[in-house]
Amino acid sequence: MEDYERTANKKKLKAHPKQKANFLSNFLWQLPLLYRGFKKGVSEDDLYDTLEEHQSKSLGDKLEQAWDDEVVAYEKPSIVRALIRTFGLQCLAYGLFMFPFHFAFTIFQPLFLMNLLNIFSSQEGEPNQNQAYFYASMMILASLSHLVCLHFISFLLDTLAMKVRVACSSLIYRKSLNLRKTHSQKTTVGQILNFLSNDVNHFETFFAFIHHIWITPIEVIVSLYLLDTILGHAAVVVYLSKRISTCKSHAASKTDYRIRLMNEIICGIKVIKMYTWEKPFLKLVEIARKLEMDEIISANYCRLMILALKNLVTRMTLFSCVLTWVLTHVSLTPQYVFTVATFYEILRLSVTVYLSLTFVSYSEIIVSMQRIEEFLKNLSHQSGKFQKKIDSLSDLSVGIYAYNVTVKWNSSTPLYNLRQVTFDAAPGQLVAVVGTAGSGKSTLLQVILKEIDVAQGNIHVGGMVSYASQEPWIFSASVKQNILFGQEMDQIKYLRVIKACALEHDISLLPYGDRTLVGERGVMLSGGQKARINLARAIYRDADIYLLDDPLSAVDAHVSKQIFEECIEGYLKNKCVVLITHQLQYLRRVDKIYVFETGQIAASGTYKELAYLRGYFGEVSKQAPEVNKSEAVIMGEMEPFKNFNIPIEVQEQQSSGTTSAKVYRNYCFAGGKWGLTFLTVVLYALVQALGNSVDYFVAFLVNLEQDRMKTSNNSNYLKFFTTENNLLIYSMLLIILIVLIAVRCWAFAKFSTNASKILHNVMLTKVIHGTMKIFDISPSGRILNRFSKDLGSVDEQLPMTLADVITVFLNIVGITVLVCIVNHWMLIPTIMLYAVCYFYSLIYVATVKNVIRIEAIRRSPLFSYLATSIRGLTTIRAFNAQKNLKTEFDNHQDNHTSAFYLQLALHHSLNFWMDIICVIYVGTLIFSFFINETETYVGSIGLAIMQAVPLVGMIPYGLRQWSNLDIQITSLERIVEYTELTPEVDEDGKTLPELWPSEGNIEFQTVHMQYSPDDPNALHQVSFEVKGGEKVGIVGRTGAGKSSLLSALLRLYYFDGKIIIDGVNIKDIHLNDLRSKISVIPQDPVLFQGTLRRNLDPFDEYTDSQIWHALEEVGLKSTVSKMSLGLETAVWEEGSNFSLGQKQLLCLVRAMVRSCKIIVFDEATANIDLKTDQLIQSVIRRKFKDCTVLTIAHRLHTVMDSDKVLVMDAGCVVEFDHPYRLLQNTSGILYSYVNRSGLGTAENLMKIAKRNFFDRFKGASEE
């Protein structure tokens, strides 16, 4: 669904240097890019092509095949088994390669340290230098081999996680193309978006630690003498992980609901603004957000407690050992204490870091897998009944043949949508389907398209089917690509279709012709233009059967006539055409008519056979004027469209350089202003200082015991620091440390929770109160990305990563300070270490920051594409376009993977080279003790080495978390950007009289309006006056500016000039005051998921009896009363369980219960049958007789009895008077519209105008 011509013009990406990299150069090929990024910055042109093994198509194909095999082989298919079959062997091979290196390091590193300390503490002469050098070298070699293997495998595992994520995303998208409207109550767009934005991302954390599930227990078992203590802490971690899993499971469903709610708000924002429903929808989202945050807060507390264990485990276990040794009178030798401490530290990393993260990530991934699996299972068990119904009649020829078909949308209700329908349509036949709103017409087409299962009866559809939906499906691409929809371009055929669908004039007015980008949902087009492009797509396809769902309602009368004659009668002359229509004037020219009433066929036959029947058709057919057939349709030669400049799509803005201090300032301010921020920082510093003090006290204790053993001198300090006093001091320090850690956890959790809540609420408020321009230029996926992926990152990943970064940074500072205190010779190497880390990180951050931003920008189109696809599923399946859409989604994924993998490679390159630097630093420390070993206590040596060894891994881990923090800060940056959106201009307004407007006078004074500075004027020097109580019809060609009048009247866009209502300039009053006084029935009816009552009265301002009365007025009372829950009936997503006509009637009910003085109908009855339309017009005349009514209409008979008609053309008012007076001008535009509607229709329209004129002016004549 992209503009392929623009895509083809893009530069081909460079070949990936990883293709030529080997084991030795695995972390070298990134360096040239790092240097280039530091010097010049990185743009999208610097990115590489996606590697073949990372491509979404191949990965999606493999996983889809594995899942399909699961569905066939097992009654309860498992996505986990499918993933294991697809990626399990590769993952296992990585683990087997990693195990020996990791295991050897864990066991032998402490033993090498013990032997080295034994040599230093030797009481028998000089230490053996050769042995000392040997054990020191072995420690360094063990660290070096371990880090090389670990980084290599870690890179492969992270890459594998990326591949699994890509494969799962592709599978979810492919299967979502099978989603039917009957399942939209269970599966929403928000839920599927949440799968892609949150659930599949858990693979990345899980795979990073997956092999520690089995490697760590083996290491612990081998270290038997440490087993009891370690398992005690592991049990705490397991409990907390289970708690996290529970919270995540509950939070996920609440996140689905919130994202679904946001999707509805974004898609229906225009209606929300028109009805001033911002506050109730803000409240709905805030309630959903609170429920979600309750679970997220609990999970975050558990995560923070797990992080806190890192600071406590080694110190607590070492304390228990020291206590045991003292009580059993075991000598505290340095080699014993620090060897055990090193074992504890290494196993602490394995258990409380690696294993705990594995448990946490496992708890998250299992919840996500269950949700995805449930979704896939629901889509795998569809269509069984329908297929059986088809097979029994598979030998029949081209056409549609249905016999006694009975269906229902919702299997849980007893109500059938179609009952015993027998229907047929043969090649060369034009079959019309008519009936009232909600009578089952569109449901019939859904059955023909295999969208609904057949409960009873048989149906056969022979031949290729093309379909034009009632609600136009327009995707974000050019006009041409919306019409072609992936089919081959045939210039002659294309031009004929354009002419047949009356699009020539409209395309000539577009800034880039048929290459104009229409925006998401066709925001750059009028309703009529969208309807005709939607029709052109169906007509361009060479099919046997054409299903056209009310394509004539959204266009002007003369355009409707042209389309019927040139397209339906002309272009499709020899095809099987099923036309649902409310334009009954054309029924005399169809071959067969089916009349639907309440889900049944009330009558069928030719027009002559049905014209004299009683009931719906008999009544309205008498009122439907005959339309004379024009001269033979000639598909003449047409000139190709001129070459327009290729338009450039509005891209998401990419930030550059370092993150603005404003972003951090906003986060800190949202977290608790500066008080809580300062307290949290101080607590982190105190915890680190006290932790290092505890470590130093252990060394002091060991050195003290050495002094006590070496000398009998009973000095004062030895008398004071008795064993009992030492244990007391040791205990007090640990107790204070535990208390400070608990307070720190509370303070940080409070800080991060406040920040998430406030940033979300501010962003939500700014979006809902933002200008319409924001929604015109931003695809819904881009906005939803802020409320899903970005917000999820700030809620959960950012706090944990930030806590980790602060902890690691303070640990590094504390360790290096201790090292320098023990050995002052290490001061210069430490300064060099800091300098190298600083400069390398500068180079790294300069590059990776831009790569992260590019990755974030390339992620948004995935969500937009998914949301757009789901909205057009019926059209997509009707065109058998699933393969093309899968390919394009895979292309979007590859585009994102290109940036994501580069970001991944840069991270691992940084980690590898920083670890090499850390090994050199530790080696320098160890060998420095050989220079001046007699001046240092062995306990201090053991402390320094024990503290320094974890730097290998800690510094790269810290820098990696810092880079991960950069990713999350990018999400924060994008949220902060939306918290600064420009709101609608709503200055302090004047105090209005309580009953304003009392008259309903409206005056436009030289109004100019354009939707953006680069667009032509939508309204140009518009001036007219409507007196209070007048009924004014507004007509004009599609795109003439009719709906723009409504936009100006409601101040949806900025305009120049004045609009005066009852003497008040609407620019001088609050938007809420203005919009709440005007009722609007919009062109595109919008219903929100929830109850029917909530859709009609979200403020609970009216009684049930008032709502029931309004429903009765529009003829919907009987329909709603048959629903078991009445007004509490659930409305599905986008109101999909109501027909389009019913949705328009429900929008009318909204207006009726509001009782405003000014009413605007924007094509409000376009999709309603003639009988219901007449009923509504009588209701309008009766109900709104004292109101000012503006009616924008394509149906001329709707406005011919108006007090005045306003004719718009090219954004200007060209005619404005009573319709009868305007029709006296034979060169006028209204006259031409009426005249082109056909002889019979024109005569009828003139009669209506004349009768109304004379009734109004009491016999005054005007010939």
CA torsion 1075→1078→1081→1085, rounded to 10°?
Answer: 10
Binned at pLDDT 50, 70 and 90, residue 229 comes out as: very low
Handedness of CA 803, 804, 805, 810 (dihedral sign): positive
Q: What is the pLDDT of residue 10?
A: 44
Q: Is 1123 in a helix, a strand, or coil?
A: coil
Length of the chain: 1263
CA separation for the pair 1156, 1189 (Å, rounded): 10
DSSP for 284-323, please give it: HHHHHHHHHHHHHHHHHHHHHHHHHHHHHHHHHHHHHHHH
For residues 797 and 165, give the distance between their C-alpha atoms in angstroms, rounded to a whole number: 18
The whole-number pLDDT of residue 1238 equals 67
Name the residue ranges covered by the structural domains of the chain.
52-381+655-979, 384-623
- State yes or no: pLDDT of 1250 exceeds 60: yes
237-251, 812-826, 1191-1205: segment of lowest average pLDDT: 237-251
Question: 1069, 989 in Cβ contact below 8 A?
Answer: yes
Q: Is the dihedral of CA 1063, 1065, 1068, 1072 positive or negative?
A: positive
Tokens of 208: 């990073």
Position 1121 scores a pLDDT of 84
Let me know if 886 is exposed, middle or buried by CB neighbors in 10 A (0-12, 13-18, 19+).
buried
pLDDT at 631: 38
Q: What is the pLDDT of residue 576?
A: 92
Predicted confidence at residue 638, as pLDDT, reads 41
Of all residues in the chain, the percent with pLDDT exceeding 70 is 82
CA distances from 777 to 417, 655, 863 (A): 39, 18, 16
Who wins on pLDDT, 1261 or 107?
Answer: 107
Q: Which of 246-255, 277-286, 1132-1141, 1241-1250 has the lowest mean pLDDT?
A: 246-255
How much is the pLDDT for 1258?
Answer: 56
Residue 1229's CB: how many other CB atoms inside 10 A? 18
Two tokens, residue 724: 């009992």
Q: What is the pLDDT of residue 61?
A: 92
| Mean pLDDT, residues 270-283 | 86
Instruction: Determine the residue type at 1113.
Output: E
Indicate the pLDDT class of residue 334, thresholds 50, 70 and 90. low
**3-state DSSP assignment of residue 657:** coil
What separation, in Å, do the N-terminal and C-terminal C-alpha atoms of the chain show?
55
pLDDT of residue 625: 54
Residue 1156 backbone dihedrals phi, psi, to 5 degrees: -90, 160
Please tell me the distance from the alpha carbon of residue 834 to that of residue 824, in angstroms, as a whole number: 16
Instruction: Render pLDDT for 1213-1234 as a digit per residue (tens, 0 to 9).
Output: 999 999 888 888 888 888 888 8
Write the DSSP assignment of 127-154 as a string of letters.
--HHHHHHHHHHHHHHHHHHHHHHHHHH
667 touches 291 (CB < 8 A): no
Q: Among 541, 603, 590, 599, which residue's Cα sits nearest to residue 564? A: 590
The predicted pLDDT at position 597 comes to: 85
pTM > 0.75: no
CATH number of 384-623: 3.40.50.300
Q: Residues near 228 by Cβ (< 8 Å), separated by ≥ 6?
A: none
Residue 870 confidence (pLDDT):
85
Six token digits for residue 119? 């040599």
pLDDT tens per residue across span 165-212:
999 999 999 988 888 766 655 677 777 887 887 788 888 878 877 887
* pLDDT-derived band at 40, boundaries 50, 70, 90: confident
Phi, psi of 1162 (to 5 degrees): -105, 90
pLDDT at residue 313, rounded to an integer: 65
Q: How far apart are CA 502 and CA 529, in angstroms?
A: 9
Q: How confident is the model at residue 535 (pLDDT cuts 50, 70, 90)?
A: very high
Give the pLDDT score at 454: 84
- In angstroms, the CA 857 to CA 892 distance is 11
- The neighbouring-strand residues paired with 983 are 770
Instruction: Judge contact between 603 and 610, C-beta under 8 A.
Output: yes
Exposure string (b/e) for 1105-1128, b if CB count within 10 Å is 16 or more? eebbebbebbbbeebbeeeeebbe
Cite the DSSP H helix spans in 769-826: 772-777, 780-785, 791-792, 798-822
- CA distance linking residue 1089 with residue 267, whole number of Å: 12
For residues 528-539, average pLDDT: 90
Query: Over the stretch 823-868, which tens digit does the pLDDT of each residue have?
Result: 888 888 889 988 888 888 778 877 887 888 788 788 878 888 888 8
The enclosing H or E element of 391 equals helix 384-391
Greater confidence (309 vs 487) lies with 487
Confidence tier at 6 by pLDDT (50, 70, 90): very low
Cα 425 from Cα 399, distance rounded (Å): 6
Instruction: Return the pLDDT at 980.
Output: 87
Mean pLDDT for 282-296 is 85
Q: Are strands 1055-1061 and 1002-1009 parallel, antiparallel or unpaired?
A: antiparallel
Per-residue pLDDT averaged across 37-52, rounded?
Answer: 81
For the stretch 497-525, pLDDT in tens is 999 998 888 888 787 888 888 877 787 78
For residue 479, the surrounding DSSP H or E stretch is helix 479-484
pLDDT of residue 632: 34
Between 708 and 978, the higher pLDDT residue: 978
* Window from 747-751, 1001-1005, 1080-1084, 1207-1211 with minimum mean pLDDT: 1080-1084
Q: Do residues 101 and 152 make contact, with C-beta atoms less than 8 angstroms apart?
A: no
Query: How many Cβ atoms are within 10 Å of 222's Cβ, its own excluded?
Result: 12
Q: Using one digit for the tens of pLDDT, what is the confidence trace for 51-65?
A: 888 999 999 999 999
> What angle, rounded to 10 degrees, do the helices at 951-979 and 882-931 form?
140
Q: What is the CATH number of domain 52-381+655-979?
A: 1.20.1560.10
- Residue type for position 1070: H
Sheet holding 600-605, edge to edge: 465-468, 545-549, 576-580, 430-435, 592-597, 600-605
Greater pLDDT, 381 or 421:
421
Q: Quick one: CA dihedral 796, 799, 800, 802, positive or negative?
A: positive
pLDDT digits (tens, 9 = 90+) for 773-807: 888 777 777 788 888 878 888 888 888 888 888 88
Specify the pLDDT at position 648.
Answer: 47
pLDDT in tens, 1011-1058: 776 667 788 889 999 998 888 999 887 778 888 888 899 888 888 999
